[in-house]
Structure formats: C-alpha cells, structure tokens
Amino acid sequence: MMYRIIADAAMVLHFAFLAYLAVGGFVAWRWRRTIGAHLAVAAWGVISILSGVECPLTVLENWARRRAGMNGLSPGGFIDNYIEGVVYPGEYTNVARLGVAVLVLFSYVGYVLRRQ
C-alpha cells in the first residue's frame, strides 16, 4: 500500500512539474523570486528532451510501482503513459513541445518587459 502511495505521489508531482514548466514564467510575473526556479525547470525540460535522460520522478514511480506489484511505466516514461494519446495524439508531440516552448518564451519576454 505504501509503495502505491509513493507511485501516485510521484505521478502527481510529475503533473505539477509539467504544469509549472508551462506556466511558471507567468507565475514569475507576480512573484519575481520564482524565476530562478522556473529557469531550472525549463533547463531540465530542454536537457531531458535533447539527451533522453530519464527523469528522477519516472525512476521513483517505476521503482514504487514495481515494489507495489504493478507494471512499470512504458519505456517512453511519464509522457508516453499519461500525456501522449490522452491530452494530445502521439503524432503531435513535436507540436505540443513547440507550443510549450513558445509559451515559456512569451512568459519570459513578459517577465523582462514587466521588470522595466
């Protein structure tokens, strides 16, 4: 039971991380001190996409799911299991990534303009 809770918590944290990745730059418009955290989150997003390195939250969820007697996530990890095919069709992955990148860049432009 405890491992199932850990797996579910890792999944929820992953969704929160992705939400913050998409809109955290806008949060920084109000709370400027959060821009450093968002830069780190955005950097991790870019690094994980370009290098294919597995997210620690995916590793944690897989570990907990296996300890709970469940199947691990598919080789594509969190995105393939919970996002692609659910939120958008898998063939639009690059479009979704581009959309998030544009959203983040727009939020950074707004952040800079609001600071002036």
Query: In this predicted model, what pLDDT tens digit does every residue of 27-66 receive, in sequence order?
Result: 999 999 999 999 999 999 999 989 988 899 999 999 999 9
Banded model confidence at residue 99, pLDDT cuts 50, 70, 90: very high
At residue 8, the 3 state secondary structure works out as helix
**Is the model's pLDDT at 116 over the cut of 90?**
no
Domain boundaries, the chain: 2-115
Encoding tokens for residue 8?
């579910």
Q: How far apart are CA 113 and CA 116, in angstroms?
A: 5
pLDDT at 114: 93
In this predicted structure, the answer to whether residue 14 has a pLDDT above a threshold of 90 is yes
Residues 4-20 as b/e (b if ≥16 CB within 10 A, e otherwise) read eebbeebbeebeebbeb
pLDDT tens-digit readout, 56-81:
999 999 999 999 999 999 888 898 89
Write down the pLDDT at residue 74. 85
Binned at pLDDT 50, 70 and 90, residue 85 comes out as confident
